[in-house]
Amino acid sequence: MKSKALAAVGVTVVAALALAGCSAGGSSSSGSSTKLHIYAWSGEIPDSVIQGFEKETGITVSVDNFDSNETMISKLAAGNSGYDVVEPSQYAVPLMVQRDLLAKIDKSKLEGFDNIAEKFVNPSFDKNNEHSIPWVWGTTGILYNEDCTGAPVTGWKDLWNEKYKGKIYMLDNMLSAYIGGMQVKGLSATSTKKDEIEKGTQALIEQKPLLAGYNSDNYADLVATGDACIAEAYSGTAAAKAVASNPSVHYIIPEEGGTLWTDSFSIAKNAPNEDAAYKWLNYTLKPEVAAKLTDDGASASANEAALKLVKDQTQVTNPAIYAPADSLKKSEFIVDPGKALAYYQDGWTRVRAS
């Protein structure tokens, strides 16, 4: 359920990066901190994790939430944010590093990094995890009702099948929609080539007459009830609930690839409570703590060692929370398209007008 990791990437990021050359203010603490200020996505840090950290360390935690990576970047770029730990999505990490908004993580101060699942170690967007420690992850894939489709669905091509005309939904988000539009043509969802993006645009224009609409809100409910046969979908609570409530509803990663997203904990440059920030990283790297993200937050943890400690193992086996590893071999991390964003915006305008 991560439109946030994909929404209008680069539109307001560009504005944030165009700000005057300021970096987050404050001075790094070398002593023992009693406070920790976190800037994170809503709903991604269960209260049980915060309460456990406070009890173990005696450090008081305050958490503010942002509604987009762009908001978070702008806040830190303005200077003197006062935040110690921030939670950027994958595409935001290199943008923040370019602006010198994140501190390089001293691996000698970390305990438990080897608990992180291999697919999140040394990712393309953050070499050697120098500025980010993965916390939560998810996917963009397909949700379908087999009672409606009449057969198993395997890939994006099924969302272009005239058999399901009027019962197909695509996500109401530009770059999310282009994931299917690009990959159904055998192209990378992260392409920055004008001619390839044009092929993705044409695929979406060809698909438009088959759609019931673009929907990022209640598509999971519609699939669960059979009012829709098939939908492009975000993993997470809504899709997981649909899968759990109806044995005919399935969430899959399309054979063409689909995409991965991850939100990570990073230390803000010049964090006023840097020692407390490292204590937070080490605490959340504990498998028993990371397991609470699934038990209490219904989200997928990037901590491989945490999976066996999740109390409700039906959440671990629910593909709408934890996609099977073998289905992710072709999945891509969505990254900032940079100047190519204009090609996507132009194409999206034509798709919506078609």
Sequence ranges of the binding site for spermidine: 91
**Helix (H/G/I), strand (E/B), else coil: 144:** strand
User: Cα–Cα distance between 98 and 100 in angstroms, integer?
Assistant: 6
User: For residue 117, what are the CA distances in angstroms to 222, 298, 306, 317?
Assistant: 33, 18, 10, 16
**d(Cα 107, Cα 127) in Å, to the nearest integer?**
13
Angle CA 198–144–247, to nearest 5? 165
- Determine phi and psi for 274, rounding to 5 degrees: -65, -40
Strand ranges, E, within the chain: 35-41, 60-66, 85-86, 133-145, 168-170, 211-214, 230-234, 249-252, 259-267, 300-301, 332-333
- Please work out, in degrees rounded to the nearest 5, the angle formed at the alpha carbon of residue 138 by the alpha carbons of 132 and 143: 165
Give CA–CA dist 244/314, Å, rounded: 9
Tell how strand 249-252 and strand 133-145 pair up.
antiparallel
β partners of residue 89: 263
Q: What is the C-alpha separation between 234 and 48, in angstroms, rounded? A: 25
Binding residues: 91
d(CA 141, CA 139): 6
Please identify which residue in the block is written with the tokens 């944010």.
81
* Pairwise CA distance, residues 273 & 283, whole Å: 15
Give the β-pairing of 35-41 and 60-66: parallel
Residue 234: DSSP 8-state: E
